[in-house]
Chains A and B, each alone.
Chain A
Amino acid sequence: MPTDDKKRAAYRALEDRILNGEGRASPEQRAGAFSNAGLPPPLDGLVSKVATRPTQVTDADFAAARAAGSSEDELFELVICAAVGQSGRLYDAGLAALADAVADEEAG
């Protein structure tokens, strides 16, 4: 059992707020950005870069998203959802590997 849940609890609270709290982008769009799946172009391109190769994001990615009708506040939220979502998947992967290692030690 974890002995200190405060860090994880603070992270889960952040996740919950950006996905389910009041926002300008729809909850569906935010969920799509968070999971890096199911968004239409050009948003999918921007979100995919934020999640997997953020140093390659360009002004043109934002310009294309604006031209397709996204507001600045919607883009603010969707970029945050993409960043937090990808980071959370890494967090979960690390915690799962740790749990497996500890379970193996206890079994062995």
Chain B
Amino acid sequence: MRLDVLNRGYGPGTKLLFALIRLFSRHPVPDAAKLVFYRPEYYGSWAKEFTQEAMRGPSAWSVGDRELMAVFVSQANESAFCIGAHSATAEQAYQDGPKVAAVLAGLESAPVDEGLRATLGMLGKLTREGRVSAEDMRHVLSAGVARQQVEDALAVCTAFNTTNRLADAFGFEVLSSDDFQAGAKYLLKRGYR
């Protein structure tokens, strides 16, 4: 990563934890995980709380739907680390790799219901253009999406607009497909805390 403190600035307990993760998982510790262990009282603890709430807290959206929103926002931001990490997580959550690939290849023809399609389209526009209109929101609501679901989707969008920026600014290392699959398994089992 571009800041040396994020590569080496950890206390002995955290260094030991990273070594144990590498030893037992046989995969590297992803930079996204390292980031939240650096001075966690400043950012990591608070970010984990928000991300957990957005991605795993109560919602009418499934975990798979929210992971798909995460990767869709990441694609709009062209954030390579997050696309890799959350494609793998969405694929495992849905147990359906082709569905995730189809959404990323072209939302209009992807095999998702109209409510999710309209919501993803709105999140993509907000992320790319920085604004959405009341008309855009009426389109989502008229596709059968409840107000609370729109709010929940905006929380996912916010978590990933933050994480995408940090991944690209700090320079998170893009891992192998195998490493991303292992990380996805962890995120589905343990969440973001």
Residues of A whose CB lies within 8 Å of any CB of B are 2-4, 6-8, 10-11, 13-14, 17-18, 21-23, 46, 49-51, 54-55, 57, 59, 62, 72-73, 75-77, 79-80, 82-84, 86-91, 93-95, 97-98, 100-102, 104-105
Number of interface residues of B (CB under 8 A): 55
The CA-CA distance from A54 to B127 in the complex, in Å, is: 13
A11-B50, A14-B50, A105-B138 given; A90·B161 CB < 8 A: yes
Nearest 10 pairs of A and B residues by beta carbon? A83-B165, A101-B137, A100-B134, A87-B161, A54-B168, A10-B50, A7-B155, A14-B46, A91-B158, A101-B134
Shortest Cβ distance from residue B50 to the other chain A in the assembled complex, whole angstroms: 4
Q: In chain B, what residue has the closest Cβ to A51?
A: B165
B166: contacting residue among A83, A88, A93, CB under 8 A: A83
Most chain A beta carbons < 10 A, residue from B9, B46, B78, B130: B46
Q: Is B107 an interface residue (CB 8 A)?
A: no
Residues of B within 8 A of A89 (CB): 130
- What are 7 A-B interface contacts by the 8 Å CB criterion? A7-B152, A18-B46, A54-B165, A62-B3, A82-B169, A91-B157, A93-B130
Residues of B whose CB lies within 8 Å of any CB of A are 2-6, 9, 38-39, 41-43, 46-47, 49-50, 53-54, 57-58, 77-79, 122, 126-127, 130-138, 141, 147-148, 150-152, 154-155, 157-159, 161-162, 164-171
The CA-CA distance from A95 to B122 in the complex, in Å, is: 12
Residues of B within 8 A of A73 (CB): 5, 39
The CA-CA distance from A101 to B162 in the complex, in Å, is: 26
The CA-CA distance from A86 to B162 in the complex, in Å, is: 8
Most chain A beta carbons < 10 A, residue from B58, B126, B161: B161
The CA-CA distance from A55 to B152 in the complex, in Å, is: 26
A88-B158, A101-B141, A104-B138 given; A7·B148 CB < 8 A: no
The CA-CA distance from A94 to B126 in the complex, in Å, is: 7
The CA-CA distance from A39 to B161 in the complex, in Å, is: 22
The CA-CA distance from A17 to B165 in the complex, in Å, is: 19
Shortest Cβ distance from residue B159 to the other chain A in the assembled complex, whole angstroms: 8
Q: In chain A, what residue has the closest Cβ to B131?
A: A93
- Once the chains bind, are B53 and A6 in contact (CB under 8 Å)? yes
Shortest Cβ distance from residue A46 to the other chain B in the assembled complex, whole angstroms: 8
The CA-CA distance from A4 to B150 in the complex, in Å, is: 12
Q: In chain A, what residue has the closest Cβ to B3?
A: A72
The CA-CA distance from A93 to B131 in the complex, in Å, is: 6
Q: In chain A, what residue has the closest Cβ to B9?
A: A72
The CA-CA distance from A91 to B151 in the complex, in Å, is: 9
- Once the chains bind, are B5 and A7 in contact (CB under 8 Å)? no
